[in-house]
Amino acid sequence: MKKTIFAVATAVISFGCSVSAGHAQDAWPAKPITWIVPFAPGGNTDLLARTIAPKLSEKLGQSVIVENRPGAGGTIATTELAAAAPDGYTMQIGDISTHAISPYVYKKLTYDPIKDFKPVVQITSVSLLLVINPQVKANSVAELIALAKEDPDSLAYASSGNGSPQHLAFEYLKKLAGIEAVHIPYNGAAPALTDVVAGHVQMMIDGTAVPQVKSGNLRALAVTGTERSKVMPDIPTMAEAGVKDYSFASWHGVFYPAGVPDEIVGKVNTAINEIINQDEVKNRFAELNIGIAGGSPQKFVEFIAAENEKMKALVESSGATQD
């Protein structure tokens, strides 16, 4: 008899716990959500999160608190995310560096870009610009390639650092165009671009050069994406300029640690898709020369897998791997 009573009590308790757990999940979010930005305040990644966060708070009914945790090219915060509780209360805005490049550049990273995260939604797709100092005697990509082939030691390109998107984008150009150019890495895009404007380095591929092009300080030869820029529609794509099969874009997206329930991922995905399609947000992104992506979690999962394969190959061919 006692065994029967114990069994019934255990079943009741178990049923009660499962009901409570179900209610807890249905009630998500029941407290503020932390949105990690793995870079310092003021950059595009930070601006994107701070543009979306207030609107996401309204849609989810809880505060979405943006926290900047910069360091080691975003890998410190990304490592922390991989170890976070999969309860839906800690997410990150990641990019091409944190989730597709750095895992292959830095040998000692402890996170796996595929297994340790749950992609939620791709927010942006950002074409970069191939720009040169006006003193370089080239008015097109074809002329620049001819110049590089005529004198392989005459040209150098700047980047924001070894293994950065700017570095790999130019290495990709070198590979497809069959040219050589010396890589000059800087500690960030701003000082690199400053030296290209000053003529200390001849060229660069970067996404923040639009103001310098419009002011006449730099000459734009091509955009790296598959479509022309809405901000600078007269500039051809790299493929249109004669570099067949060239396509390179930076991007941003939202990630959870692996194990977060699909229901939560779906709620955040739906909310952010709605937000980035609002006219106010579209206009803000356009001012920053940032293209909107969007789509389902599965679409982002497939995109991440393809990006990792592509970036791994580029890192290996460029020799950007480091300890």
pLDDT at 79: 97
pLDDT at 188: 84
Number of other residues whose CB lies within 10 A of the CB of residue 135 = 8
pLDDT at 15: 44
Residue-wise pLDDT for 6-60, tens only, equals 444 444 444 444 444 444 456 999 999 999 999 989 888 999 999 999 999 999 9
pLDDT at 287: 80
pLDDT at 288: 80
Sign of the CA dihedral with 85 first, then 91, 95, and 97 last: negative
**Which of 20-24, 237-241, 259-263, 319-323 has the weakest average pLDDT?**
20-24
Has residue 4 got a pLDDT over 80?
no
Residue-wise pLDDT for 249-261, tens only, equals 999 999 999 999 9
Grade residue 222 by pLDDT with cuts at 50, 70 and 90.
very high
- Which residues share a beta bridge with 131? 204, 220
CA-closest candidate to residue 301, choices 39, 99, 28, 126: 99
Q: Which residue has the higher pLDDT, 12 or 75?
A: 75
Has residue 99 got a pLDDT over 50?
yes
Residue carrying structure tokens 């999160």: 49
**Which of 21-35, 79-93, 96-110 has the weakest average pLDDT?**
21-35
Has residue 148 got a pLDDT over 90?
yes
pLDDT at 1: 46
**Average per-residue pLDDT for the chain:** 91
Q: Which two tokens stand for residue 323?
A: 């300890």
Mean pLDDT calculated for residue range 236-264: 96
Residue-wise pLDDT for 164-212, tens only, equals 999 999 999 999 999 999 999 998 888 999 999 999 999 999 988 999 9
pLDDT at 26: 60
Mean pLDDT calculated for residue range 267-278: 98
Has residue 294 got a pLDDT over 80?
yes
pLDDT at 10: 45
What are the distances in angstroms from CA 239 to CA 145, 234, 242, 259? 14, 14, 5, 40
**Which of 12-16, 99-103, 135-139, 200-204 has the weakest average pLDDT?**
12-16
Show the domains of the chain with their CATH numbers. Answer: 32-124+249-318 (3.40.190.150), 129-223 (3.40.190.10)
pLDDT at 44: 86
Percent of the chain with pLDDT over 70: 92
pLDDT at 179: 96
Number of other residues whose CB lies within 10 A of the CB of residue 54 = 12
Maximum CA extent, the chain: 96
pTM of the predicted model, to two decimals? Answer: 0.85
SS3 226: coil
SS3 218: coil
pLDDT at 147: 96
Query: What are the start-end ranges of the E strands in the chain?
Result: 33-37, 64-68, 90-95, 117-127, 129-132, 156-159, 182-185, 203-206, 219-223, 249-257, 291-292
Query: Which residues in 9-42 are b (16+ Cβ under 10 Å) and which e?
Result: eeeeeeeeeeeeeeeeeeebbeeebbbbbbbeee
